[in-house]
């Protein structure tokens, strides 16, 4: 039986791609963020997950506004990193966990989540950077299932809906008949805003409350609408929806293996958490 | 048609249905910047490239004057504009932030650092 062994949530600031490429991990500006990862590397070495289910948002690589799905899942055999126009070096392709991806896809649709199914898929920095942060040599020891949430075009799926989709993904993983250790990733956030007269907005108090809620009150943020989240966390802070999908996959309590928080990385309150089901 | 009044958040433009309709050509052009050949073509003749994608005069003016708030007001979505800013013009998000908020880049960066205290 497949089993969720952990939830790893992290910011995916595009500038991290450049910092990784230039080996700036020990540079004083970047160090506080990258220092969050050695404990996660130790955990990965010990637990050795087989499959990553990554909940993230595409920024105009696989999807454009001609067809913008609210939720999508990648069942492709190969998930391809390529030029996304932001100047981020591309990475080696990621093998898809096809059997689990199709199983989750079938299960979600039967569970009333109308997924768009991608048998070919490009993955951008929101998918690739968490992988490169976990496995810096970029030799992926896992297969992956990308689950993509629309954070581009408002209205966004509600926080409540995202959490419920996470619950449905958790049920799908639990009913997958093959043995597999699954790590769920939630990519993005926390508070940041790139556009408008309020560009540079960061809300440390909200972020710390949200991180606490991931452990102690997982549905706390589901009370907020998409526009509430913009007001409280900035236009791009809404990426915490991916954290909520990820957190929803584990029904019971979790314990913190590692947690770090640093302001700023680029325009972002950068946060990383590794949680384990209790 | 009378439409319900929209909720607004000061200083936080929302990329919603109206923006997506208004900005489709502009965003489609920016989406094309996922390819280096297209980035190079834009750089070689910006206005001609804009016209190829059907941008209107207001959108072309916002492009040529590097008016970031203007680009948003004519329907630009930030993730698409990011390809123009980062991939084509070589600006980072602190440059973009400073341009929109009327401060220097150093002042903008100082504000970000202060948000952590």
Kindly report the CATH number assigned to the domain that includes residue A160.
3.40.830.10
* Number of domains chain A is built from: 1
- pLDDT tens digit string along A59-113? 999 999 999 999 999 999 999 999 999 888 899 999 999 999 999 999 999 999 9
Question: Residues A256-264: what's their mean pLDDT?
Answer: 97
- A192 assigned to active site: yes
> What integer pLDDT is reported at residue B1 of this predicted model?
66
Question: Residues B67-92: what's their mean pLDDT?
Answer: 95
Averaged pLDDT of chain B: 96
Q: What percent of chain A has pLDDT over 70?
A: 100
Residue B3 has pLDDT above 90, yes or no: no
Range of the domain at A103: 2-277
Domains, chain B, in order of start with CATH, read 18-114 (1.10.700.10)
- pLDDT tens digit string along B11-55? 999 999 999 999 999 999 999 999 999 999 999 999 999 999 999
> What integer pLDDT is reported at residue A71 of this predicted model?
98
- pLDDT tens digit string along A195-214? 999 999 999 999 999 999 99
Residue B83 to residue A60, Cβ atoms within 8 A: yes
> What integer pLDDT is reported at residue A177 of this predicted model?
97
Classify the C-alpha dihedral A233-A166-A144-A108 as positive or negative.
Answer: negative
Q: In which band, very low, low, confident or very high, does the pLDDT at B4 lie, cut at 50, 70 and 90?
A: confident
> What integer pLDDT is reported at residue A128 of this predicted model?
97
- pLDDT tens digit string along A23-63? 999 999 999 999 999 999 999 999 999 999 999 999 999 99
As beta bridge partners, residue A271 has A261
Q: What percent of chain A has pLDDT over 90?
A: 96
Q: Residue A59: list chain B partners with CB under 8 A.
A: 79, 82
Residue A83 to residue B31, Cβ atoms within 8 A: no
> What integer pLDDT is reported at residue A17 of this predicted model?
87
Tell me the residues of chain A between 67 and 126 that have a Cβ less than 8 Å away from chain B. 82-87
Q: How many CB pairs under 8 A join A and B?
A: 141
> What integer pLDDT is reported at residue B45 of this predicted model?
98
Question: Residues A219-225: what's their mean pLDDT?
Answer: 98
Q: Out of A12, A125, A258, A262, which one is annotated catalytic?
A: A125
Question: Residues B60-88: what's their mean pLDDT?
Answer: 96
> What integer pLDDT is reported at residue A88 of this predicted model?
85
- Which phi and psi angles does A44 have, rounded to 5°? -60, -40
Averaged pLDDT of chain A: 97
- A41 assigned to active site: no
> What integer pLDDT is reported at residue A86 of this predicted model?
83
> What integer pLDDT is reported at residue B36 of this predicted model?
95
Q: Nearest-CA residue of chain B relative to A199?
A: B97
Question: Residues A102-127: what's their mean pLDDT?
Answer: 98
């Amino acid at each position: 039986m497949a089993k969720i062994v952990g939830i790893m949530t992290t910011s995916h600031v595009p500038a991290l791609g450049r910092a990784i490429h230039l080996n700036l991990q020990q540079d004083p500006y970047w160090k506080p963020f990258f220092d969050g990862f050695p404990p996660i590397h130790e955990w990965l070495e010990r637990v050795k997950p087989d499959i990553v289910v990554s909940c993230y948002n595409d920024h105009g690589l696989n999807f454009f506004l001609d067809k913008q799905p609210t939720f999508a899942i990648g069942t492709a055999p190969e998930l391809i990193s390529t030029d996304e126009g932001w100047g981020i070096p591309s990475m080696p392709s990621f093998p898809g966990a096809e059997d689990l991806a199709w199983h989750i896809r079938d299960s979600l649709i039967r569970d009333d989540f109308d997924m768009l199914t991608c048998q070919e898929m490009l993955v951008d920095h929101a998918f690739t950077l968490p992988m490169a942060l976990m496995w810096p040599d970029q030799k992926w020891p896992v297969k992956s299932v990308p689950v993509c949430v629309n954070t581009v075009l408002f209205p966004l799926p509600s926080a409540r809906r995202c959490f419920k989709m996470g619950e449905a993904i958790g049920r799908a993983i639990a009913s997958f008949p093959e043995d597999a250790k699954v790590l769920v990733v939630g990519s993005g956030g926390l508070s940041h805003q790139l556009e408008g007269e309020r560009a540079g907005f960061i809300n440390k108090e909200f972020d710390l409350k949200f991180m606490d809620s991931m452990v102690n009150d997982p549905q706390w943020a589901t009370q907020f609408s998409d526009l509430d989240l913009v007001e409280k966390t900035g236009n791009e802070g809404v990426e915490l929806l991916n954290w909520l999908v990820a957190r929803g996959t584990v029904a019971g309590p979790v314990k913190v293996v590692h947690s770090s928080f640093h302001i700023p990385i680029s325009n972002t309150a950068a946060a990383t958490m590794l949680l384990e089901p209790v | 048609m009378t439409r319900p009044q929209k909720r607004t958040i000061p200083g936080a433009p929302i990329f919603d249905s109206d923006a997506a309709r208004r900005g489709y050509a502009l965003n489609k052009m920016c989406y094309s910047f996922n390819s280096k050949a297209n980035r190079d073509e834009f750089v070689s003749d910006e206005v001609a490239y804009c016209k190829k994608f059907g941008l209107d005069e207001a959108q072309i003016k916002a492009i040529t004057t590097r008016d970031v708030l203007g680009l948003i007001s004519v329907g630009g979505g930030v993730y698409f504009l990011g390809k123009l800013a980062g991939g084509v013009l070589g600006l980072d998000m602190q440059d973009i932030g400073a341009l929109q908020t009327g401060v220097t880049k150093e002042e903008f960066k100082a504000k970000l650092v202060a948000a952590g205290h």
